[in-house]
Amino acid sequence: MFVDRDIFLEGIAASPGIAIGKVFLLEEEDFCFIRKEIPKSFREAERKRFDDAIEKTRSEFTVTYNKINDVLGENYAHIADVHILILDDPTLKKDVYKLIADGVNAEYALFKVLDKIIRSFENINGSFFKERKVDIQDVGKKILANLFGKKGKKLARLDEESIIIANNLTPADTVSVRGKKIAGFATDIGGKTSHTAIIAQGLAIPAVVGLKNISSLVKAGETIIIDGDKGEVVLNPSSKTLLHYKNKYDLQLSRTVELEKLKNLTSETTDNHKIFIFANIDHSDEVPLILNKGAVGIGLYRTETIYFNRDSIPNEQEHFDTYSKVVQQISPYAITIRTFDLGGDKLTKMGLLNLGFESNPFLGLRSTRLCLKYPEIFISQLRAILRVSVLGKVKLMYPMISGLAEVRAVNAILDKVKEDLKKENIKFDENMEVGVMIEVPSAVAVIDSIAKEVDFVSIGTNDLIQYTLAVDRINENVAYLYDPMHPAILRFIKRIIDEGHKAGIKVAMCGEMAGETKYTSVILGMGLDEFSVSPSQIAPIKKIVRSMSFVDCKAMAEKVLKLEDSKLILKEIDLFYETRGINA
Ligand code: PEP
Ligand code: MG
């Protein structure tokens, strides 16, 4: 007899909510293919099928080569060139033909031949051979995808409401689930503020990450529970556990209805201190949702998603079309469009951003650094943003600024773009506000100088915590060190707010910390002007703001800023809420 037994797995809460559903196991695409006997009369056709896949793969590589060559020149294009050379290797073809002639299917023949080549590299030391091994695997995957006639990820085949379980989901994968029937997801790797987690929040999909080995513990079709509030997953749930979570799920729905009532109320404390709660969005489709949740503007539009899941670089008109849709929908409220923050954990399929070789991508060619390296790509985005600035209240924001020189460098490009537009008689808002994200410790150190040269700043706590505490935001092994209440972080935030105010500009926060109700009292008390949060957090933050006084928050912030230990700080915060009967 089957005895049901709960298996609880602890992970990292990445996106709130409860989900109960069947497992959709997203397996890694690897070289695992079944051997099939091909009858003699079909072997010629099998060989032709292999040749066709090779030709299709060659034309894909040629397109990639040309694209990289156009944008970056030959030095980079050789990445695709290596792939074409492997594809054209006469021994590879000869050996595959031989196996097909012996009666095995093309997939298996290719797998056998590649496996032999890869194994021959295994005993040779040196990064050159390691890289070649990866190249050969890449080429193999492409040919196999074409043999299967399959394009893109297995996610495309998801047609039943499911919970996705994977070793990892990239931000691009996560964006591609938009509109699909996903109840939740759980992954082996990842951290609370990984971009995958952030996108899940934007999509309001409960998610738990950093579970280490969940993808090898579950089977497709099994029932599973995701608790995105606690960061817990239950495998093999007993009927009692299922009932418990079904009740929790119902409670969640009734809470949502309750929070909806706050939609048209202002965000002000009991002693009438007003703040603004804006939304963070990743995609143009999210505007109706955030308006419905009561957002009074967009404090962060992460434009890099425009670059995901495609193999060409978006042109100015594509940028314009996407932004104008968002600006028109959010108008008359303001929108802060952040220039693209690619790199780090946000890589794309485009040859241009083939940054897999960076050993420290978060410290590498990311964000504004990438914009400065490839100004032509940056310029098309800037032109589009300036063009949409006449359609509403548009602000421009640069990410990952590390110092004043960078602000000046990007602004010099912006000035040049403005001059060009003027010459072309293209209208734009000459007074468009330009701000920067403060998310690198060096920018905090020189915030007094930066604040004098910009119209606003927005604190990117996701990265600020990562870079200040030296804790990779997507590494589950060090997630326990990722501490927003670390005294260093609180002091930095206070410094940014104070220096911003001294310079007469507004200070916003758009990192995930702004959307955590537990921290609202402290950051409000430190004087933050604007909170920009993921859509699901707009109402909860408003509720907390409306239930406390600014005077109390200020006193509390002053107190915790003197504490030297985050545990004591959290204790103080708990006490603050407890004595006021607030459930944060
Ligand atoms: C941040 O770093 O806090 C931020 C908002 O930017 P992103 O999460 O896109 O890096
Ligand atoms: Mg950031």
Regarding the beta carbon of 511 and ligand 1, being less than 6 Å apart is answered yes
Q: Is the pLDDT of residue 123 over 70?
A: no
**Binding site membership of 341 for ligand 1 (Cβ less than 6 Å):** yes
Q: 7-28+154-258 has which CATH code?
A: 3.50.30.10
Nearest to 534 by CA among 551, 564, 513, 508: 513
Active centre residues (catalytic): 195, 510
pLDDT of residue 357: 59
Average pLDDT value for the chain? 88
Weakest mean pLDDT among 31-40, 99-108, 301-310, 570-579: 31-40
Q: How far is the CA of 278 from the centre of ligand 2 (A)?
A: 17
CA of 399 to the centre of ligand 2 (A): 7
Q: What is the pLDDT of residue 159?
A: 64
pLDDT over 90 (residue 336): yes
Q: 28 pairs with which residues across the strands?
A: none
Q: If we measure between CA atoms, which residue out of 315, 377, 302, 316 comes closest to residue 346?
A: 302
Assess whether the C-beta atom of 436 lies below 6 angstroms from ligand 1. no
Between these two residues, 361 and 443, which has the higher pLDDT value?
443
Range list for CATH 3.20.20.60 in the chain: 267-534
pLDDT score at 157? 62
- Of 94-98, 181-185, 351-355, the one with minimum mean pLDDT is 351-355
> From the alpha carbon of 344, which atom of ligand 1 is closest?
10
Q: Name the least confident of 226-230, 373-377, 569-573.
A: 373-377
Least confident of 185-189, 278-282, 403-407, 558-562: 185-189
Q: How confident is the model at residue 1 (pLDDT cuts 50, 70, 90)?
A: very low
Residue range 407-412: average pLDDT?
Answer: 98
Quote the pLDDT of residue 315: 94
pTM summary value: 0.74
What pLDDT does 73 receive? 66
Cβ(439) – ligand 1 distance below 6 Å: yes
Return the percentage of the chain with pLDDT > 70, whole number.
89
Protein residue with its CA nearest to atom 8 in ligand 1: 462
The Cα 172–Cα 175 span in angstroms is 5
Question: b or e along 57-71 (b: 16 or more beta carbons within 10 Å of the residue's beta carbon)?
Answer: bbebbeebbebbbeb
Position 31 pLDDT exceeds 50: no
Cα(174) to ligand 1 centroid in Å equals 16
User: Does the pLDDT at position 476 exceed 70?
Assistant: yes
Q: Is the pLDDT of residue 151 over 60?
A: no
Mean pLDDT of 105-113: 87
Q: Residue 193: is its pLDDT beyond 50? A: yes
Percent of the chain residues topping a pLDDT of 90: 61
Ligand 1, residue 458: give the atom nearest the CA. 5
- How far apart, in Å, are the Cα atoms of 425 and each of 283, 387, 395, 419? 30, 11, 21, 10
Q: Which atom of ligand 1 lies nearest, measured to the CA of 195?
A: 8
pLDDT tens readout for residues 566-583: 999 999 999 999 999 998
pLDDT band at 30 (very low <50, low <70, confident <90, very high): very low
Architecture of the domain defined by 40-148: Orthogonal Bundle (1.10)
- Residue 152: the pLDDT is 46
Residues with Cβ < 8 Å from 352, sequence gap 6 or more? 67, 68, 71, 72, 76, 313, 374, 377
Say how many Å lie between the CA of residue 440 and the centre of ligand 2: 9
DSSP lists the bridge partners of residue 333 as none
- C-alpha–C-alpha distance, residues 121 and 22, integer Å: 40
Stated as kind and residue range, the H or E segment containing 291 is: helix 287-292
The CATH 1.10.274.10 domain(s) of the chain lie at 40-148
At residue 470, the 3 state secondary structure works out as coil
CATH class label, 267-534:
alpha beta
The HSE-up count of residue 60 (CA atoms within 13 Å, CB side) is 20
Place of tokens 């996407």: 322
